[in-house]
Amino acid sequence: MVIAGFLLQPGSSESASLTLNEKEYFETQGLNILVFSNWYNGLFGDSKISGVEVIHHGNRMATNGDIRLSATPEQWDPIPEFISRKVNEKEQSIEAFLRYPDYNFSYSVKATPVENGVEISVNVPKAVPAALVGKAGFNMEFLPATYFEASFLADGNPGHFPIYPTGKKEIIGSVEPEALASGKHLVLAPEDTKRRISIRSNESTLNLYDGRGKAQNGWFVVRGLLPKNKTGEVLKWAITASIQENWLRQPVIGHSQVGYLPSQQKNAVIELDENTPALAEAKLLQVQPDGSKTVVLSEKPQPWGSYTRYQYATFDFSSVTTPGLYQLQYDDTVTASFPIGDSVYKSAWHPTLDHYFPVQMDHMLINEAYRVWHGASHLDDALQAPLNHEHFDLYAQGPTTDTPYQPGEHIPGLNVGGWYDAGDYDIRTQTQYATVSTLVAAWEEFALTRDTTLVDYERQYVDIHVPDGKPDILQQIEHGTLALVGQFDAVGHAIPGIIVPDISQYTHLGDGLTMTDNLIYQSAMKETEADGVNSGKFDDRWAFTSKSTPLNYGSIAALVAASRALADYNPQLAERSFTTAEKAWDEEAAKQPDIFNHGNTTGGRLEPEKLKAAVELLITTKENKYKQAVAELLPEIEQHFGENAILAVRALPLMDKEYRNRVKAAAGAYKQELDVIAQQTPYGVLITEGGWAGNGTVLQMAVNQYYLHKAFPEMFSTQSIYRALDYIYGTHPDSDISFVSNVGTESKKVAYGMNRADYSFISGAIVPGVLILKPDLPENKEDWPFMWGENEYVINLGATYIFTVNAAQALANQH
């Protein structure tokens, strides 16, 4: 009986007081509570990174502790306006001041430490406006994946968290959601010390909701309504958590899940809890055919220091060059196996070209064996977008259409080519031309003739794993080019893009074909009327068509590049592409630039976009006027060398000695910048800290250095390219998984693609990676796909990845 009693104990926990640390959040070992260290992403609405947040035993499991106007807010529902944040070290408190200006409603959220947690109070100088009574409440959102297969207690009444939602969804103004539980004391996961959170309310009832009933990316929400006719302190919660005694985060041994070339530097980065005592031994184990393991290297790793909230050490095993299968061990942590060998990169790019690119192809039916990924969607593209309209996802239409078409009129010729931009279904032109340009560069540099995919435009049909005798990369270049040429043919210039008009379509998950009826919308027809070509159903995508000279230049560059790649493969399209681009260049040269700028859909800065076009035209034609254009942009190259390095180097053979000397000097200064960057983190790459994680930057800088190494081998080594791939493949903060799905021993399996509602992945796709949440948390959720800044696939990243892997393999073959 004594033994049984022992086994039933919930786990060792301790009492602790949180203190306000120098990074301005509450902290004790095993528990951190942030109060408005982060703010909602204004570009894309609620990104689940704001308000009061709980990091419990290393896992950010709660967020968005704030006043919201519904029980289960969606991404684009109203958020408050942030005014200020006051940190009182003496009082050990943090208070954030906010307001909903449309309702003239101001409030503050204040947190002070209590044992094992914080006390949250909401204060209002004026009573809740009548329009918000019964609507304004303090919400706290809990990550569903953290609480799957766990229970809860509400005033002692038990229940369990569902893996999948049931019941009514909230429809604001008409349907209230059903609460999973109600009470004044709610305990989440009472059976598990690692996940147990307790919330006590002073007066208001706590209601627990499942936000996934409204939207698949919803969280579990604990909510307490604000009372009416009351000022001052109107709500008080005590949020506490169980804390495992002497808790330490398990070490993470960052390493390449794909493996290493024998000749490259091999450096594992060990990420350790800040309270970890003296360093243990690190070991490299070789796995033998009989399953036994031989220690081939063992030594204390080298301390690196602190970065974000962790301490780091490095283990250099470059001296091991014998091909074979290996594992890394630090203390009790052992990694998955990985190879050392000459061919580790040989097939690492295949899933991206074989699978991810075909799956993203718009206007085509995509088949894979017994599975159809999606039908031939959006064959009704596209309607002219309305004037002076600011849309979601950073699209906007200016005061004129800049086309022959009236708002709402069908623009023919836009229903061909292009890729779904990301985890959604728009065609963002800036992404399209970047992808085409990079694929052309990969074709010209590496002559990738791989063929595993059938593309049949006559039948609008693609079959994955079925060769058709044509290089797949040329078929993908063709597909992107068709979309770009189609824009110029339709309206005479590049357009920002094509996207659905309604938010309910934008949030669509599943087969893109089911978003529309593929029939051209006619306003004169009834909604249920159709004749096989037209219909009265308003479901067609909008084309945003405002002129942008930078956007035109970016498209010109891609079309010129494509004309070279397609010259033998599709001569007619190659000729159309070049003629279209040359005419557009001449038209831009004869007028003042059109600078319509909105979000990230209207092209980059004017000068680098013009440089792209000038360099591609120079390489293709060798004409002096393009050489002169590049020379005139030399100050731009020098001032922003990192952004323009590839173009600068590719133009070198066609430029004069002065140009070469100035580019070389700029490259030398850039090399010094890179050397500083390499020392700023233990990973030796630039880790960005914006709202979108930095894998794209890591890969783009690797491509930069490939071209720079070719031009100036005495200045730029190849190791930085391998280091970038090591980062993508697992040598990064937070975990050691490969960020390329289905590439490497352990890779990204839960991501933000069109199948994210199934918690699944698309083979060969690359996610943004580790997001550095302010002030110090590296995060990439592998159990929750809906964090787009960490997990959303984007098509242009796939092209950059294909180039980088082949660059690494090509350099390896030279040695």
* Two tokens, residue 244: 């495992």
Cis peptide before 775 (omega within 30 of 0): yes
Which residue, chain included where needed, has tokens 């094509």?
498
169 near 218, Cβ under 8 Å?
no
Instruction: Please report the pLDDT score of residue 94 as a whole number.
Output: 98
805 near 764, Cβ under 8 Å?
no
Alpha-carbon distance of 773 to 692, in angstroms, equals 10
220 near 211, Cβ under 8 Å?
yes
SS3 for 138-197 is EEEEECHHHHCCCEEEECCEEEECCCCCCCCCCECCCECCCCCEEECEEEECCCCCCCCE
Instruction: Please report the pLDDT score of residue 45 as a whole number.
Output: 75
- What CA dihedral angle connects 564, 566, 571 and 573, to 10 degrees? -100
Asked if the 252-340 domain carries CATH number 3.40.50.720, the reply is no
Instruction: Please report the pLDDT score of residue 42 as a whole number.
Output: 65
- What CA dihedral angle connects 641, 646, 652 and 656, to 10 degrees? -30
Pairing of strands 338-340, 324-330: antiparallel
- CA distances to 49, 111, 145, 207, 300 from 75, rounded to whole Å, are 12, 25, 18, 20, 47
Cis peptide before 382 (omega within 30 of 0): yes
* Two tokens, residue 48: 């689940």
SS3 350: helix
747 near 736, Cβ under 8 Å?
no
Pairing of strands 181-183, 206-210: antiparallel
252 near 270, Cβ under 8 Å?
yes
How many Cα atoms occupy the beta-carbon half-sphere of 259 within 13 Å? 26
Count helices and strands in the chain by DSSP H and E runs? 18, 41
SS3 for 361-416 is ECCCEEEECCEEEECCCCCCCCEECCCCEECCCCCEECCCCCCCCCCCCECCCCCC
Alpha-carbon distance of 13 to 18, in angstroms, equals 15
Instruction: Please report the pLDDT score of residue 754 as a whole number.
Output: 94
Stretch(es) of the chain classified as CATH 2.70.98 = 2-241
Per-residue model confidence as pLDDT tens digits over 66-122: 999 999 999 889 999 999 999 999 999 999 999 999 999 999 999 999 999 999 999
Buried/exposed 374-409: b ≥16 CB within 10 Å, e otherwise? bbbbbbbbbbbbeeeeebbbbbbbbeebbbebeeee
Per-residue model confidence as pLDDT tens digits over 9-64: 344 567 788 999 999 999 999 999 999 999 887 667 788 999 999 999 999 999 99
- CA distances to 103, 352, 357, 735 from 344, rounded to whole Å, are 60, 16, 22, 21
SS3 634: helix
Buried/exposed 42-74: b ≥16 CB within 10 Å, e otherwise? eebebbbbbbbbbbbbbbbbbbbbbbbbbbbbb
Instruction: Please report the pLDDT score of residue 737 as a whole number.
Output: 98
Dmax of the chain from CA atoms? 92
Closest among 715, 733, 702 to 807, alpha carbons compared = 702
Stretch(es) of the chain classified as CATH 2.60.40.10 = 252-340
Closest among 642, 667, 674 to 652, alpha carbons compared = 667
Instruction: Please report the pLDDT score of residue 344 as a whole number.
Output: 97
Instruction: Please report the pLDDT score of residue 1 as a whole number.
Output: 32
Instruction: Please report the pLDDT score of residue 9 as a whole number.
Output: 38
Alpha-carbon distance of 632 to 636, in angstroms, equals 9
Distance separating the N- and C-terminal Cα atoms of the chain: 68
Count of beta carbons in the 10 Å neighbourhood of residue 688: 18
426 near 393, Cβ under 8 Å?
yes
Question: What's the topology of domain 2-241?
Answer: Beta-galactosidase; Chain A, domain 5 (2.70.98)
pLDDT along the chain (815 residues), means of 10: 33 77 97 95 80 98 98 93 96 97 98 97 98 98 97 98 93 91 98 97 95 96 97 98 95 98 97 94 98 97 97 98 98 97 97 98 98 97 98 96 98 98 94 98 98 98 98 98 98 98 91 95 96 97 98 98 98 98 98 95 97 98 98 98 98 98 98 96 96 97 98 96 98 98 98 96 98 97 96 98 98 88
pTM: 0.97
* Two tokens, residue 753: 């693609």
* Two tokens, residue 112: 């002070």
- What CA dihedral angle connects 347, 353, 354 and 357, to 10 degrees? 150
